[in-house]
C-alpha cells in the first residue's frame, strides 16, 4: 500500500500488516476521555498480519458526502484492496457508504461488519447530552443537571434540523459545564478541549443523519449488545426495523462490545473466511 495512505490525515493506522489485501477499515469517533471500548481494544485478538486503519472524523465539512470522500480519496487513489469495513454505532452509517464506494474499484465488495449500528436522529443527540451531563452531575448538582436536561429536551423538541440541534446543545454544554468544571479545578485549555470534542461528536452524529444506510445494511453482519438503549435493540424500541444479513446477539454491554473476546474471535473468523452460520452458532 502506498505510503501516502498511511500519511493521510483522514486515517489513523492501528496496525500495519505484510499483506496489502488483508486491509480492514474501521469507522468510529475516537477521542480522549471516551468511556466505550475502541477498535484498538479489539485489535490484539484479531491475529497478526492485519492492516487496520481507523477514520479520523474531521467534521468541519459542509455535508456527509464530503466527510466520506475525505476517507475514500486516499484509498481510491491507491486502489486499496479492502477485506472488510467495520462500523460502530453511528459509524455504521458511514461504513455502509464507505463500503459501497470501495466496491466501485475492487472485484469483490468488502465485508460489512457493524457493532450496535444506529440511525442518527434527535434522540441520539439528546442521549449523548444526557450522558455528558451525567458525567458532570457530581459537580453540577442534581438541580442544575435536571434543568440542563430539560433545556436540552426543549431544544430537540423545538427543532427538526440536526445541525441546529447539535449546535445549540454544544453551546448549552459549554454554558452549564464551563463553570462546573472550573469549580472542579479543570484548566481553561482542558475545558475548551473537552467541549470542542463534544461539539465535533454532535456534528458527526448530525452528519450521519444525512445518510440512509438501510439498503447497504442488508448485506451486513451486525453484532448487538445487551444494552436496550443502543444499536438494533434501541431502533426496534423506537419503531425502526432494520434488515441485516445476520444479527449476532452477544452477552456484553454496549460500552464493552469492541473489547469482548468472543466478539473479536467471531470477527477474526469472519475475516479469515469462515462460514457465517458456524460463526453465528458459536456466539449463540
Distance in angstroms (rounded) separating the CA atoms of residues 68 and 207: 10
pLDDT at 117 (0 to 100):
97
User: Which CATH class name applies to 3-119+212-283?
Assistant: alpha beta
The answer, yes or no, to whether residue 25 has pLDDT greater than 90, is yes
CB 60 within 8 A of CB 50: no
* pLDDT(4) > 70: no
Could you give the CA distance from residue 91 to residue 73 in angstroms, rounded to a whole number?
Answer: 18
The pTM score is 0.95
Measured torsion, CA atoms of residues 238, 243, 248, 251, in degrees rounded to the nearest 10: 0
pLDDT for res 29 = 96
Tens-digit pLDDT profile for residues 113-122 = 999 999 999 9
Region 161-184: what's the mean pLDDT? 93
Burial class (CB in 10 A: 0-12, 13-18, 19+), 193: middle
Residue 46: which of 199, 279, 269, 283 has the closest Cα?
269
Q: Looking at residues 265-271, what average pLDDT do you find?
A: 96
Residues of the chain with CATH 3.40.50.1820: 3-119+212-283
Q: Residue 25's beta-bridge partner residues?
A: 53, 85
Amino acid at each position: 500500500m502506498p505510503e501516502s495512505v498511511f500519511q493521510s490525515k483522514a486515517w489513523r493506522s492501528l496496525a500495519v500488516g505484510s499483506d496489502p489485501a488483508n486491509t480492514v477499515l474501521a469507522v468510529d469517533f475516537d477521542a480522549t476521555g471516551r468511556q466505550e471500548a475502541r477498535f484498538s481494544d479489539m485489535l490484539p485478538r484479531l491475529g497478526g498480519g492485519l492492516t487496520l486503519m481507523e477514520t479520523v472524523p474531521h467534521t468541519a465539512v459542509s455535508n456527509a458526502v464530503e466527510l466520506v470522500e475525505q476517507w475514500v480519496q486516499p484509498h481510491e487513489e491507491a486502489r486499496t484492496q479492502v477485506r472488510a469495513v467495520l462500523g460502530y454505532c453511528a459509524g455504521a452509517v458511514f461504513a455502509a457508504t464507505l463500503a459501497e464506494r470501495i466496491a466501485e474499484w475492487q472485484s469483490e465488495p468488502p465485508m460489512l461488519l457493524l457493532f450496535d449500528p444506529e440511525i442518527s436522529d434527535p434522540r441520539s443527540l439528546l442521549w449523548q447530552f444526557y450522558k455528558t451531563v451525567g458525567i458532570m452531575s457530581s459537580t453540577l448538582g442534581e438541580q442544575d443537571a435536571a434543568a440542563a436536561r430539560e433545556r436540552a429536551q426543549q431544544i430537540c423538541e423545538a427543532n427538526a434540523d440536526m445541525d441546529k440541534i447539535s449546535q445549540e446543545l454544544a453551546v448549552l454544554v459549554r454554558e452549564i459545564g464551563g463553570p462546573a468544571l472550573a469549580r472542579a479545578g479543570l484548566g481553561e485549555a482542558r475545558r475548551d478541549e473537552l467541549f470542542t470534542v463534544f461539539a465535533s461528536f454532535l456534528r458527526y452524529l448530525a452528519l450521519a443523519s444525512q445518510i440512509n444506510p438501510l439498503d447497504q445494511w442488508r448485506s451486513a453482519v451486525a453484532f448487538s449488545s445487551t444494552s436496550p438503549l443502543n444499536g438494533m435493540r434501541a431502533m426496534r424500541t423506537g419503531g425502526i426495523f432494520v434488515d441485516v444479513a445476520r444479527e449476532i446477539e452477544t452477552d456484553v454491554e454496549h460500552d464493552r462490545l469492541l473489547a469482548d473476546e468472543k466478539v473479536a474471535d467471531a470477527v477474526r473468523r469472519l475475516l479469515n473466511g469462515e462460514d457465517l452460520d458456524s460463526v453465528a452458532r458459536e456466539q449463540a
